[in-house]
Structure 1
Amino acid sequence: MSSPPASSPKLSSLEAVRAIAAVLVVLMHATHLMRVPQFSGHVGLGGLFDFGYVGVDVFFVLSGFIITYVHHGELGGGASHWREFLWKRFVRIFPIYWLVLALSVLPSLLSRLASGRRPLIDMGLDALPGTLLLWIGGGLPEIVGVAWSLQFEILFYLSFCVLLLHVGLGLTLYAAWAALSVAQAYGVLHSPLPLSLGDPMCLEFLLGVAAGLIARRAPLFTLPGQGLLVAAALVAAVVYERIGPQGTHAFGGRVALGLAVAALILTLVAWERHRPARLPRPLAALGATSYSLYLSHCLLINIALAALAKVGLYRLLPELVLFLVAMTVALVGGWALGRWVELPVVAWLRRQYSARAPGRTSPQGTATA
């Protein structure tokens, strides 16, 4: 048994979970981006990594856990805490997202300029709130395909402010949210909840919040064979999500994944309270820069595959080699973007906030909060 800590030590094992989740998404897209006509015209490697989207489910549970675990001491602390919290979330999400968005638009603009056309972006005004501000009610984001998940993250962060203002009110809100999501899934509600609030991925976030509260407020037990049991549960949840009777992306599969990931997180936290994990440096580096990797990997994979097609190698090389080249470019490029751009910019912006608000201390977080 392990007791809840008084502070928020860095949990290296969760950096590993974040790195693996990001790599799963990259594996899937490295094969799926081959299906466009100018490349292979079909999903690469026979769809071997089609399950990679579960990495996003892991991210949602991790998100709820991390912000609850790291900011637990600030719950119910009032407006000053939520202002600081939102600033940290803003600098974590938007600067690097806007950079990747600009880099994704750049090839199209350059192509238009080279052909003598006006450098316009093919995006309607109705898509701007969802694309630029990641507002979930402003339409699906365009250009950066994975940004749809960031819309949920923004929604989660805004909801968490209620917990920062008042714990009782926040927990009541979350309990009602979970109940309404279940009611929607089973057809009790006459119409779906607005702003995708009834999406099962919201329940994954709420499960992460619950896991964070448990980790901070209750002793965690570890049993013999618990690691194997949790690993088996996670595999079973992935299989159920993929081939269960409800089909993929359904309520039951998402909840199963959320429960399994929450159990994994609590197990890792319990272990680390006895002995901190030591990660291999490449895995730790990918964990620290997983957000940049997640944002930029589709752009980098497309660049790699397009370059191979341009020089005439795409049709000559085996598909496995093409896949490995795309993966290497995505992983190295995503790491470099995070290491040399994202992390320094986030650190600089947070220092600016601290300089303007002397006396404020930042909790030492689980992974990067």
Structure 2
Amino acid sequence: MSPTAPAHAPRLASIEAARALAALAVVLMHATHLMRVPQFSGHVALGGMFDFGYVGVDFFFVLSGFIITYVHHAELGRGAGRWPGYLWKRFVRVFPIYWLVLAMTAGPSIAARWLAGRTPVSELGAQDIPGTLLLWIGGHEPAYVGVAWSLQYEVLFYLSFCVLLLHLRGGLALYGLWAVLVVAQAFGALPGALPLKLGDPHCLQFLMGVATGLLARHAALPLVRRQWGLVGAAFIGAVLYERLGAQGAHAFGGRVALGLASALVLATLVAMEQRRPVRVPAMLAQLGAASYSLYLAHCLLINIVLALLAKTGLYRTLPEFVIFAVAVAAAVTGGWLIGRCVELPVVAWLRRRTASPRLARPAATA
């Protein structure tokens, strides 16, 4: 760490706002696609104008690498004593609220099957349990909570970060080798696919975030005139390339372009914050803090709203845009409330449980 770099991680309001916007992009896309089922509209709403919203997930993968590197920078290379506390923080951040949303999603289906005298969880096989309950990436994708596939990558990333906590230079060397292998697999230079989806382009996006976090903690990032215009153009260009490029959507080249553009956005935000704190609308910052709950629960909340509108007959009488707006507003409000009233208090309580005087005294003595 640079002698002038602060050991603590200052809170960056602009990053919270960017997190909120990325979550909103995903919500807008899913709201239009959830309306296409036969009992609702039967087609993607609004002509698919928000189909690009999945790029918010690509941004999240880069942001994930950036955040854990930026926040835990002072702990890198400090030895085995650091990783248990780090993993506990990651656990309480990911799993409690995920299990709550999983219960909210799977509960009605299980209860209905049980009341009907059928096997409550017949749609969940033994092979689905590791991926669904523990977000293990080595098996099947999670059931019930559709967006949880991305959490499987997050858990993989969080586990891999332990190598940087154990040994900084060795961990960076392994991360560099990981990036090389991802590129090699994309170009068919490996005899087969890497296990645990380690060769997926999303892994490269995470590594871009780690590199951005290290750079932000080591140096004053440049900020030139009209930089936002250039960065915005680069991000839009990356989205268009990913969507319309010769490789097609979701291809390796597009993922790399989105990863690089997302890293540029984060680097520019940090450069602004290094000069003076960036002020953002309070509601946007709060939504960013609750964006994980919004991301997890929005599909469930949108489906509930659409079903209620269909039951009351309003779905067939209201304009499509109004239905879409009501569903999005309910999902954002509900996700914010879950984050504000459940997720954040639970995370804070669980972290306080580990900060007992018995554990704190040896650290203070040392």
Q: Is the 8 A contact 1:97 1:295 kept in 2?
A: yes
Shift of 1:82: 0.6
Q: How do residues 111-260 of structure 1 correspond to structure 2 at under 5 angstroms?
A: 111-260=112-261
Measured against aligned partners, the alpha-carbon deviations of 1:40-62 in whole angstroms (never above 9, x if no partner) come to 11111110100000000010000
Counterpart position of 1:26? 27
| Alignment deviations for residues 73-105 of structure 1 (CA, whole Å, 9 cap, x no partner) | 100111221111100000000000000000001
Instruction: Give the Å deviation of 1:125.
Output: 0.7
**For residues 282 and 311 of structure 1, what CA distance do their matches in structure 2 show?**
32
Distance 2:111 2:169 in 1: 53
RMSD over aligned Cα atoms: 1.4
Deviates more, 1:130-139 or 1:101-110: 101-110
Alpha carbons of 1:79 and 1:132: their partners in 2 closer, same or farther (altered >3 Å)? same
Contact 2:7 2:74 in 1 (8 A): no
Q: How does 1:1-369 map to 2 (within 5 A)?
A: 4-355=5-356, 357-358=359-360
- Superposition deviation, residue 30 in structure 1: 0.3
Number of matched pairs:
359
Report how far residue 4 of structure 1 moved.
4.5
CA distance in 2 between counterparts of 1:360 and 1:134 reads 34
Match in the other structure for 1:367: none
SS in 2 for 1:337: helix
Name the CA shift for 1:359/1:259 in 2 (closer, same or farther; >3 Å): farther
How far is 1:304 from its partner?
0.4
Q: Structure 2 counterpart of 1:304, which letter?
A: V
The aligned amino acid for 1:57 is D
- Which ranges in structure 1 are unaligned for 5 or more consecutive residues? 362-369
Residue 71 of structure 1 deviates from its aligned partner by 0.5
Corresponding residue of 1:366: none
User: Using the alignment, how far apart are the partners of 1:213 and 1:165 within structure 2?
Assistant: 16
Contact 2:305/2:330 (8 A) holds in 1: yes
CA contact (8 A) 2:36 2:43 kept: yes
After superposing the two structures, state which structure 1 stretch, 115-124 or 20-29, moved more: 115-124
Work out the CA distance in 2 between the residues paired with 1:38 and 1:327: 19
CA distance in 2, matches of 1:354, 1:336: 27
Contact 1:4 1:219 (8 Å CA) reproduced: no
> In the alignment, residue 53 of structure 1 is paired with which amino acid?
Y
Query: Is the partner of 2:247 in helix, strand or coil?
Result: coil
After TM superposition, the structure 1 stretch with the greater mean CA deviation from structure 2, 173-182 or 108-117, is 108-117
How far does residue 115 in structure 1 lie from its aligned partner after superposition? 3.8
Q: Deviations over 1:297-342 (max 9, x none)?
A: 0000000000111111111111101101110110000000000000
- Residues 39 and 309, structure 1, Cα contact 8 Å, conserved in 2: yes
The alignment partner of 1:248 has SS state of: coil
Q: In structure 1, give the amino acid aligned to 2:359.
A: A
Question: Normalising to structure 2: TM-score of the pair?
Answer: 0.95
Distance 2:298 2:81 in 1: 36
Q: TM-score, normalised by structure 1?
A: 0.95
Contact 2:137 2:153 in 1 (8 A): yes
- 1-side partners of 2:163 and 2:329: how far apart? 42
Structure 1 residue 17: Cα displacement: 0.6
- Shift of the alpha carbon at 1:112? 2.7
* 5+ residue gaps, structure 2: none
